[in-house]
Structure 1
Amino acid sequence: MEQLEQIGITNVGRVYHNLPVPELVEHALARGEGILTDSGALAVETGKYTGRSPKDKFLVDEPSSRDDIDWNKDNVPISEQKFEQLYQRVLSYVQGRDLYVFDGYVGADPKYRCGVRVITELAFQNLFAHQLFLRPTTAELSEHKVDFTVIAVPGLHGDPKTNGINSETFIVLHLAKKLVLIGGTRYAGEIKKSIFTLMNYFMTKQNVLPMHCAANIDKHGHTALFFGLSGTGKTTLSADPERSLIGDDEHGWSDEGIFNFEGGCYAKTIRLSAENEPQIWSALRFGALLENVVVDPETRMPNYDDDRLTENTRAAYPLRYIPNCALSGIGTHPKTIILLTADAFGVLPPIAKLTREQAMYHFLSGYTSKLAGTERGITAPQVTFSACFGQVFFPLPPTLYAEMLGERLQQHPETSVYLVNTGWSGGPYGVGHRISLKHTRAMVSAALDGKLDKVNFKPHPIFKVLLPEKVPGVPSKILDPQNTWDDPEAYTQQAEELARRFVENFKQFADARKEIVEAGPNNS
């Protein structure tokens, strides 16, 4: 309790420090926060908010970080006065209430490890923190030092009129205090992503590149990174039975190599099946947490195809629930980097090698396409760009992270970078077809195994990326996307339109070096 008093938390009910998983589950059940499924996982519903609330996230405008932050629609300022006002409301709210406290770490490499304390009013949110972050040993716990603190109180609703926020929900990060306040939402993902945002700021101060990517490693010690926005296949392609999973979402690249920020996974479960994703399926047992998955009240069987609560159904579980995982959370400097995109225009090649500058360009672009349309049918792709493949989580200018990536590629010239299109071929969405997962896996495997190192490449006439002449196990015809279209002129028109979108989007990076800008597509 003394430690909580240091941050102003006083006169509370019972404080449950670092309860083991079975006790947290028992508390959640006793408090009516959730139910057990037939496999033993705890299933909860988060109510109104079934995903992140990006418009309710704020960074405190304070002197130590003010000039560093890339203030934009994702990094919105709130005054220190309004923060203190909210903080006092939080401190008043928790008085008389029971609280759950988790102490752990973020950052698998001890050299860069940060102590995390997560204080919650709900038992299931503390279970989430226990499974997502790195759990200390008994000896480590006795010496645990708090670097980052998160206070999550879903029952406290903010007031837009007096608190300077946009709704009853608030996620407020104070970088100088290393303190996060979360209120008005039960969605546990806000806890994870707040810590990620803090790491994306503070790791750069130690010359560590923070990355929103998956990572795995083979038996020879060769590490691979997988960047990609939702729907591009990051989780599917990084879960490889021939390779050990280091982590599925957040990593750092230091002078020593790669390390996972987390100790668990937070996977989407919509349309999950044992056949397609057996590793995730088997991980959803006792100790795992399901968010907003519809469960049959009689059989207690989850229905992963049911999206009546949300498309964003989720599962949180420790990394050790995945067979053949890399429990150390540490890997070597990457031998291969895969940038994933799902291009619904049908014009990007299924795989292309990138120069260092092209890698920086496409890292900054963070392109994919989401499918947009009406109930009558989806006919047009919706272009999506998200710098660093997760712009909303990066408080500093995107070009800073891109330059850090470029420096590492220069230091490690043996690292190969590939752009892999898991989207459409032979025409845009509605005309062409989705690139075969079998072929995508073959291309990714060829890249990871070094089979493309001695293959000849040719530049794409518009996008300039380098197309391989052959890939083992893949028909050569599909490697040049123009060959898959019935009308070559229609292909060129569509490719030029996407190139124009790239160029238009890249104008926001006015501070990008000329060499990076010129690595982008031609836009005649």
Structure 2
Amino acid sequence: MTSVNFVNDLNDLLNSPNVRVQLSVPQLVEEATSRGEAVLTKDGAVKAETGKYTGRSPKDKYMVEEEISKDKIDWGNVNRPISSDVFENLYAKVINHLKQKDALYVFKGFAGADPESRLSIQTINEYAWHNLFAHQLFIRPTAEELAAHQAEFTVVYAPTFHADPAVDGTDSETFIIVSMEKRIILIGGTEYAGEMKKSIFSIMNYILPEKGILPMHCSANVGPEGDVTLFFGLSGTGKTTLSADENRKLIGDDEHGWSDNGVFNIEGGCYAKTINLTREHEPQIYDAIRFGSVLENVMVDEETRIPDYHDGSLTENTRAAYPIQAISNIVDPSVAGHPKTIVFLTADAFGVLPPISHLTKEQAMYHFLSGYTSKLAGTERGVTSPEATFSTCFGSPFLPLHATVYAEMLGNKIDEHGVQVFLVNTGWTGGEYGVGNRMKLSYTRTMVRAAIHGELINIETEKEEIFGFEIPKEIPGVPTEVLNPRNAWADKEAYDKKAKELAKQFESNFKKFGTVSIDISAKGGPLVTE
């Protein structure tokens, strides 16, 4: 086995003459373009392609089995164990690989906008554009903070180093390995920059609960009276669209912590999907893409350098990374008080969930653990009809601890702060996909605003019989016939059958949480599955 001294090896690398620390945005843009890593678009954004991997590689993500963490981690398909020997050998190889490069780039910054709980981080990058990505996505230090900066976690990123599975003990050429003991994230064999963002989020999901802070995969905004709303939802549910409100300021679009002080953004930037992006539908994102922004896998005209956001020939997962300050209507710094309202978003393609329902604490915990939405026919190869999709806590790939840790923290905070929780279906009504219609965005906006403004707390409701949801009988501006989904179906028996099918899928999915969650299931789950 290779002898590894992590501290010395890391210091030797950081003190190499080829290392460039904390370059400015213009300097990083110059480096990325002059080295042929990226090109400039008409608006000054840096456009790079990520080659073979245009998204995360979850099957190549590992956590090192170590004494300090092995009994806390929820081992399985998400948190896959790897030995210290494999990690140390790969680490030594990557360090030697990077020492041979004529340039390396280091960014020093933070994860977490609350100074009391933020994590000092640094990234060591082989590519200038990766370092620019880190600069835009994480929290940038002031000159004073930089002078005193001591990294608590380091990302070592070598995209051109490819593992040999037969020798290195990995499943492929790609690896994302987290060592809680050495406080290092080792990434190789992939050029997809999002691995950095999500690896740091995974770290925060491990560290923050130990401090009594709930990490959350959600967007957040705040109203003029200081009222905070959280929006949880998987891709395609409308999280970005509904959290962008001209009358409310954005706290953050993706990752947050909830401490005894309130809510704070974990990041310093946004990582927005750009496929089919238009100024008309997403003006904030469209206008945020300017000098210094990073575009991933977006097709750009070679002569005009104008991006074509409708071209998904490289991937549908085209992305833009930019600092949150590129959005005009924000809270800066990205901290606010305790949430008054939580909105769980789902795009139910079966057309059976209500467009809005008021949840009890137990129902909130149940649906937080479930993290439900549905895939549509045609969105993925082999999907010929709507399919139920469950992502624990709306972020299962990033949870090192058992899911019930996060759910119990959420339940406690709902109790402590009297938070109102709503489940909002932005999907289908009047029938499943192909029969019914998508819920009108104008209706959804009206319902969400009514929930945020406290207009749905003391109104008359009716109980939906299969899931046990409390459904408002009337909301001004929304047709009453769409509020109860059963009423919107012409064939009531077909609705009952489809609703019971979905309830059974919820029940089946929930069994994976074991006996710990029996009480949550009994009080928060479906009433009828047969």
Output the TM-score relative to the length of structure 1: 0.97
- Give the structure 2 partner of residue 523 of structure 1: 529
Corresponding residue SS for 2:63 = strand
- Of 100, 122, 125, the residue aligned with 1:120 is 125
- Give the structure 2 partner of residue 54 of structure 1: 58
Corresponding residue SS for 1:58 = strand
- Give the structure 2 partner of residue 100 of structure 1: 105
- Is this contact kept in 2: 1:379–1:429, CA < 8 A? no
Distance in 2 between residues matched to 1:274 and 1:304, nearest whole Å: 11
- Is this contact kept in 2: 1:11–1:96, CA < 8 A? no
User: In the TM superposition, what are the counterparts of 1:257-336 in structure 2 within 5 Å?
Assistant: 257-336=262-341
- Of 105, 109, 112, the residue aligned with 2:114 is 109
Distance in 1 between residues matched to 2:404 and 2:136, nearest whole Å: 33
User: In the TM superposition, what are the counterparts of 1:367-516 in structure 2 within 5 Å?
Assistant: 367-373=372-378, 379-413=384-418, 415-516=419-520
Quickly say closer, same or farther: Cα 1:373–1:313, change in 2 above 3 A.
closer
Residue 243 in structure 1 maps to residue 248 in structure 2: yes
- Is this contact kept in 2: 1:227–1:234, CA < 8 A? yes
- Is this contact kept in 1: 2:9–2:95, CA < 8 A? no
- Is this contact kept in 2: 1:399–1:511, CA < 8 A? no
The runs of 4+ residues in structure 1 deviating greater than 6 Å are: 374-378
- Give the structure 2 partner of residue 88 of structure 1: 92
Distance in 2 between residues matched to 1:506 and 1:377, nearest whole Å: 25
Corresponding residue SS for 1:24 = helix
Distance in 2 between residues matched to 1:485 and 1:64, nearest whole Å: 54
Quickly say closer, same or farther: Cα 1:201–1:376, change in 2 above 3 A.
closer
Corresponding residue SS for 1:508 = helix
The Cα offsets for residues 104-148 of structure 1, whole Å up to 9 and x where unpaired, read as 011100000110100000000000000000000001100012111
- Is this contact kept in 2: 1:259–1:330, CA < 8 A? yes
User: In the TM superposition, what are the counterparts of 1:146-225 in structure 2 within 5 Å?
Assistant: 146-225=151-230
The letter for the 1-side match of 2:308 is N
Distance in 2 between residues matched to 1:517 and 1:443, nearest whole Å: 27
Quickly say closer, same or farther: Cα 1:257–1:11, change in 2 above 3 A.
closer
The letter for the 2-side match of 1:473 is G
The Cα offsets for residues 159-180 of structure 1, whole Å up to 9 and x where unpaired, read as 1112111111110000111110
The Cα of 1:293 is off from its aligned counterpart by: 0.2
The Cα of 1:512 is off from its aligned counterpart by: 2.9
Uncovered stretches (5+) of structure 1, i.e. residues with no partner: none
Corresponding residue SS for 1:383 = strand
- Say what the alpha-carbon RMSD is for the aligned residues: 1.6
The letter for the 1-side match of 2:96 is S
Distance in 2 between residues matched to 1:137 and 1:21, nearest whole Å: 15
Distance in 2 between residues matched to 1:301 and 1:465, nearest whole Å: 48
Residue 342 in structure 1 maps to residue 347 in structure 2: yes
Corresponding residue SS for 1:9 = helix
- Is this contact kept in 1: 2:64–2:177, CA < 8 A? yes
- Is this contact kept in 2: 1:12–1:96, CA < 8 A? no
The letter for the 1-side match of 2:529 is N
Distance in 2 between residues matched to 1:450 and 1:493, nearest whole Å: 34
Distance in 2 between residues matched to 1:372 and 1:7, nearest whole Å: 52
Quickly say closer, same or farther: Cα 1:506–1:374, change in 2 above 3 A.
closer
The Cα of 1:331 is off from its aligned counterpart by: 1.2
Output the TM-score relative to the length of structure 2: 0.96
Distance in 2 between residues matched to 1:470 and 1:439, nearest whole Å: 12
- Is this contact kept in 2: 1:169–1:183, CA < 8 A? yes
- Is this contact kept in 1: 2:113–2:139, CA < 8 A? yes
- Is this contact kept in 2: 1:268–1:315, CA < 8 A? yes
Distance in 2 between residues matched to 1:310 and 1:512, nearest whole Å: 40
The Cα of 1:372 is off from its aligned counterpart by: 3.1
- Is this contact kept in 1: 2:404–2:517, CA < 8 A? no
Corresponding residue SS for 1:384 = strand
The Cα of 1:513 is off from its aligned counterpart by: 3.7
The letter for the 2-side match of 1:128 is F
Quickly say closer, same or farther: Cα 1:379–1:57, change in 2 above 3 A.
closer
Distance in 2 between residues matched to 1:253 and 1:200, nearest whole Å: 12
**Percent of counterpart pairs with the same letter?**
56
The letter for the 2-side match of 1:498 is L
- Give the structure 2 partner of residue 29 of structure 1: 33
Distance in 2 between residues matched to 1:520 and 1:117, nearest whole Å: 43
The Cα of 1:240 is off from its aligned counterpart by: 1.0
The Cα offsets for residues 47-104 of structure 1, whole Å up to 9 and x where unpaired, read as 1011000001000011110010101111100000000011011111011311100000
The Cα offsets for residues 323-376 of structure 1, whole Å up to 9 and x where unpaired, read as 111111101110000001010100000000100000000000000001134999
Distance in 1 between residues matched to 2:516 and 2:13, nearest whole Å: 45
- Is this contact kept in 2: 1:214–1:234, CA < 8 A? yes
